[in-house]
Amino acid sequence: MTSGKAVALVTGASGGIGAAIATRLAADGFALCVGYSGGVDSAERTVDAIKATRGRALAIKADVSDVDSVDRLFSELQERLGAPTVVVHSAGIMPPARIDEVDLPTFDRAIAVNLRGAYIVLGRAARALSAGGRIIALSSSVLAKNFPGYGPYIASKAGVEGLVRVLANELRGRNICVNAIAPGPVATPLFLKGKSEEQIAALSKIAPIERLGEPEDIARVASFLAGPDGAWINGQVLRANGGFA
């Protein structure tokens, strides 16, 4: 359990992995800022779930690809809950597109949300955190598989992993840990959208554990990295994937 003054921001926390991470960190004792870009009702459900267990939480809307919007997010968080001690950047999209289609609108959207968004949020987090702080980004274990149709997504998430490693070095001497979690296939609407039952069944068998991950599987890893036992983990990508890759 953390102290009562510990504050965590989780972007993309209106559902899926982000919501599970926010709920778990609240159970660990953090006051939570539930960041979201759309779906205010879903974001408020995450807040209500946290409050139902006597946690503190609020929801703030922000477009992670827009620097002014992210600045407002951090300013409002500071005013309403205090300075964050943990920032988890979970916001992301997975738009399918083959490289040979040269679908630039889809590529640009994936880069804007997943990579530009990470660049902005991680940079602002680095400014906001003090000694002992934690920055956690979400990547993906799909990087190791090179599935057709995942080009924009894989390119953006490879960039996220690069940002994490560089930022860890840039924050030398400040005692702030910067890491990424790279989930394998997780049963969320983001991952399941557009896939047939046969595709889902096949993907669930790739990992030796032979099941899809659950959002709570990833939330446990975030809890470890955000908590006292994660204080010696820095500049790493933890592949939480059941042996998927």
Given 36, 119, 150, 153, the catalytic residue: 153
Helical axes 117-128 vs 151-170, angle rounded to 10° = 20
Task: Name the strand (E) or helix (H) holding 50.
Answer: helix 40-52
Residue 119 falls in the annotated catalytic set: no
Residue 123: burial class (beta carbons within 10 Å; 0-12, 13-18, 19+): middle
Determine the distance from the C-alpha atom of residue 77 to the mean position of all C-alpha atoms in its chain, rounded to a whole number.
Answer: 18
Which is nearest to 83 in space by CA: 7, 3, 174? Answer: 7
Q: Determine how β-strand 134-138 pairs with β-strand 86-89.
A: parallel
Phi, psi of 11 (to 5 degrees): -80, 160
Active centre residues (catalytic) = 153
